[in-house]
Amino acid sequence: MSNLIAITWENDRLLFLSAAVHNNSATFEHAESLTSKNQLKELVQKYRLAKSETIVVLSRADVEVRSMVFPPVPVNELPDLVKFQATKEFNGYDAAAPLDFFITNKLENVSRSTLFPTIQNQLNRTPLKKGKTEKIATDHAGSPKHLLASTLRIATLRNIREFCDELNLILRRVVLRPCETAYLWRHTPNFDPNHAVLVVELDTHETSQTVLFQGEPVFMRSPKISCPDDVSTSDFAARLVAELKRTRIAVRNEIQGVTVDEAVLCGVGANFESLAKQVANGLGIPVKTFDPWQGIRCGGTLQKNQNNQQLPIEKPERFASLIGTILQSVRNESSHIDFCNPKKRREPVGHRQLVTGGLAVALVVLTCLIVFGFYSRTVLTSEVKNLTTKLNTLKKTAGTVSEQRNQLNAIDAWIADNVNWFEQLDWLSRKMPTAQEMILTELTFSANSGGSMNLRSLLKDFSVVSPMEEQLRDENHVIKPGEKGASGGNPQYSFRYDLSIFLSKESADASTQTSPPEEQFQEPNQ
């Protein structure tokens, strides 16, 4: 029998969980919430856990996570491609830093990037010779590769190793909290693969939010929210609902085709049931509570109060990721993200395979030399024709390269003219007439040398037009009235009115810079 330890940091708290492992099963024996490393050292000595294999669980705020999409390529080439792309995607990426990723296989038919249509069109337009379509599709693995990649600072990993060495523990894995909680949820009876689920874990000063699509994590956030002892308070519920709405909007915008239709709140008891009801009312979707200790075998100090179904620890719901990562390790299953064992290109074959391969190559070469003498002029001419056909095919498909370049240039232009549209929406909502006087039927944004907003609306009366234009016109916005007339479609709003608002380049740059840099760094998808 061996021991397995899982550790995670919760701001100023250190969560510790140990389990005894026997025959691919785990019995959880000790769980503690500590305030210092010395307390953990005393626990290791007290329970004789020295030299135990250890897993360190990191929160979403400790790492950088980016979504990536690649053309259909062999899986063995992905590690090198991800490292190359990481230099562009991550902030200050160090090539020596640990980098790991996992493929979100469930998103093969979901668009996660503006590159997806280009890649798909290229596959559809590439002419293939009759009889070779299936072979080429198989060589390219059939569909684009969607994945989530994450990197960790070298200094952080070094500190973790030194921490484990000082406590006389053997570091085996450094994993990501949302992935481990998702693993635990997938192995519960309440898991339903037909729903896109938002899993919520409450921390002292932040809230982990993970979106699972068919059981696989596809989106992660960890906004800063201070969690009170009584989570059922209306103030905390309102702040939590606001962040969850932002997460749902971000998922809908980034992953077209995935809509969160259910939420899971990690925790049980009257307070969590009350919080779940308030969140369900605020989001308009079902909200379940999730007990991470349900069905878990306990022993040692965790067995004291099993008769009355109470665990002798504070806030047992915060150990969900630790339980998940221990069960995953005991079952010899690899983690989605593991900075100690990142995915690499497949190692070269062994010595025996090299010898066998060398002999096979030598035999093939000898055979080719024998057959080469029997080559005829007809065979060579046929090969030239085939090459000519392939060359003509490549010339026809060369136009797709120019199309891709134009799309990428359009993306770069959009980024260069980035405007803080949330701030402009806030400004617009404060300047527009009330819903009783006017309703918007269409609102279009464009970023070009500043930006513009095109509005189409229905009015009860034209008398609101002049005051509205005066409200909207200022030193940063230029108003250009458009068409107006009778609507004929809505009896309550019988007039239609179009309006264009132009934002200067200087004002657009200034509005973009008003967002705090720290929020932009931590929450790029908001």
pLDDT score of 348: 61
Strands 262-266 and 451-459, how do they pair? Answer: unpaired
CATH class held by domain 191-293: alpha beta
Residue 148 has pLDDT above 70, yes or no: yes
Do residues 227 and 202 make contact, with C-beta atoms less than 8 angstroms apart? yes
- Confidence label for 512 from pLDDT (cuts 50, 70 and 90): low
Residue-wise pLDDT tens digits, 79-111: 999 999 999 999 888 889 999 999 886 665 555
Distances (CA, A) of 361 to 147, 346, 356, 366: 37, 21, 9, 9
| C-beta of residue 392 within 8 angstroms of C-beta of residue 129 | no
In Å, what is the CA distance from 111 to each residue of 78, 86, 255?
19, 21, 6
Give tens-digit pLDDT for 117-128.
444 454 444 444
* 378: pLDDT strictly greater than 90: no
For position 142, what pLDDT does the model report?
58
Phi, psi of 446 (to 5 degrees): -145, 145
Domain spans in the chain, listed from the N-terminal domain onward: 64-151, 191-293, 349-416, 421-513
Query: What CATH number should be reported for the domain whose range is 421-513?
Result: 3.30.1360.100
pLDDT tens-digit series, residues 191-244 = 988 889 999 999 888 899 999 998 889 999 999 888 888 999 999 999 999 999
Phi, psi of 179 (to 5 degrees): -70, -40
User: Same fold for the domain at 191-293 and the one at 421-513?
Assistant: no
CB of 61 within 8 A of CB of 203?
no
> Is the pLDDT score of 289 beyond 90?
yes
Strand partners, 200: 209, 265
- pLDDT(115) > 70: no
Q: Whole-angstrom Cα distance, residue 306 to residue 96?
A: 47
So what's the pLDDT on residue 134? 36
**Can you spell out the DSSP letters for 421-444?**
HHHHHHHHHHHSPPTTTEEEEEEE
CA end-to-end span of the chain: 47
Which of 177, 180, 238, 236 has its CA nearest to residue 208?
Answer: 177
Residue 138 has pLDDT above 60, yes or no: no
AA letter at 24: N
- Nearest CA to 432 out of 487, 480, 469 is that of 469
Instruction: Evaluate if residue 247 carries a pLDDT over 90.
Output: yes
